[in-house]
Amino acid sequence: MIRLSQEHLQFIRTHAESIYPDECCGIVLGYLASEDKIVVEVMSTENVWNTEAAAEFSEERTAESKRRQYAIAPEVMLKTQREARDRSLNIIGIFHSHPDHPAIPSECDRLYAWQGYSYIIVSVQNGKAGELQSWSLDDTHHFQAEAIENII
């Protein structure tokens, strides 16, 4: 289960709407408490998906655009990881949007996902954020739905 506040959820939705029709992306910071992930902060990042980024992932995906893919710059992930560690936090997840598609992970999402992270996806239909779901990888590297609980 991932626990986050209404403000965190609204931040994700607002960011997704502001980036539409492209995919937005961002990092989720927090900590583990028993089996639950507790969100302390969500931060937006630039979607750096481009031809060069695509080539690093898979040559067959180079034609895909920011409307169907996202990438967070490795240096942003490293810097955020260091800053989180200095605050006794961890990167516990990634969020991104699916413009005009359901909040269900794509095959590309699955291929490049890391175990242990939560993947929050928000569907943005015609510029309006809607369904939001969280996913995590199981031991066979397949996504399983993860419960979301609002905290105050």
**pLDDT at site 68:** 85
pLDDT digit string (tens) for 5-62?
999 999 999 999 999 999 999 999 999 998 899 999 999 999 998 866 666 655 455 4
CATH of the domain at 121: 3.40.140.10
* Strand segments (E) across the chain: 2-5, 25-33, 36-45, 90-99, 118-125, 128-137, 143-146, 148-151
Q: Can you say whether the dihedral through the CA atoms of 133, 137, 138, 142 is positive or negative?
A: positive
**pLDDT at site 62:** 47
What's the domain count of the chain?
A: 1
Q: What angle do CA 41, 46, 52 make, to 5 degrees?
A: 140
Q: How far apart are alpha carbons 122 and 101 in whole angstroms?
A: 9
pLDDT digit string (tens) for 78-128?
999 999 999 999 999 999 999 999 999 999 899 889 999 999 999 999 999
Residues 46, 75 contacting (CB under 8 angstroms):
no
Q: Which domain holds residue 30?
A: 2-151
Q: What angle do CA 46, 142, 124 make, to 5 degrees?
A: 40
pTM given for the model: 0.92
Give CA 32 to chain center in angstroms. Answer: 17
Q: Which two tokens stand for residue 137?
A: 């990888």
Measured in degrees and rounded to the nearest 5, phi and psi for residue 85 equal -60, -40
